[in-house]
Amino acid sequence: MKVEVATPDDAAEIAALGQILHDTSSYAGIPYNVAKVESLMRSLAAGAGVVFVVRKDGAIVGGIAGGVAEWWFSDERHGYEFSFFVREDARNAYTSVKLVNSFRIWCARQGAKKVRLGITTGIHEESTGKFYRMLGFEPAGTLFSLEV
């Protein structure tokens, strides 16, 4: 599978894929707003950020979406991801490496000095952490949640 830059026309298909991730994640109890996700993906694909995707038999089966911005406390720029997901039937290390590396390279070209990837879904945290470490990422904190 080849990594491609998504276009705004891919937004609906990306949002539908996001629904699969959402429904199987720690976010499943929070309503999923397809139109909102589609709007964000369209905006990112139009240049507000980036979305890299992979296709299998013409259908988008995975991707990584994110952007670059200044830290809230500094003028230095960093890369951040909104979502990184590959459908289970299309997962392999090669595809995931290509997606993350495409995003990392894009971030560097946008002037980012650092890229941060999170594991907030509660899905395969240990193996995803090992995967990120294998790519040279280092742990940078812990996330906690509380229902109020």
Render pLDDT for 77-93 as a digit per residue (tens, 0 to 9). Answer: 999 999 999 998 888 88
Does residue 56 form part of some domain?
A: yes
> Can you list the residues of the chain whose pLDDT is less than 70?
none
Does residue 148 form part of some domain?
A: no
Range of the structural domain that residue 17 is part of? 3-134
CB 69 within 8 A of CB 45: no
Does residue 139 form part of some domain?
A: no
Q: 54 forms bridges with which residues in the sheet?
A: 3, 62
Render pLDDT for 135-148 as a digit per residue (tens, 0 to 9). Answer: 999 999 988 999 89
Does residue 99 form part of some domain?
A: yes
Give the CATH number of the domain where residue 13 resides. 3.40.630.30
- Sheet strands side by side (includes 50-56): 3-5, 50-56, 59-70, 77-86, 112-116
Does residue 86 form part of some domain?
A: yes
Does residue 147 form part of some domain?
A: no
Does residue 142 form part of some domain?
A: no
The whole model's pTM is what?
A: 0.94
What type of residue sits at position 47? G
pLDDT at position 91 is: 87
Closest CA to 118 of 143, 95, 87, 147: 143
Does residue 144 form part of some domain?
A: no
Question: Two tokens at 34?
Answer: 């397809």
Q: How many domains does the chain have?
A: 1
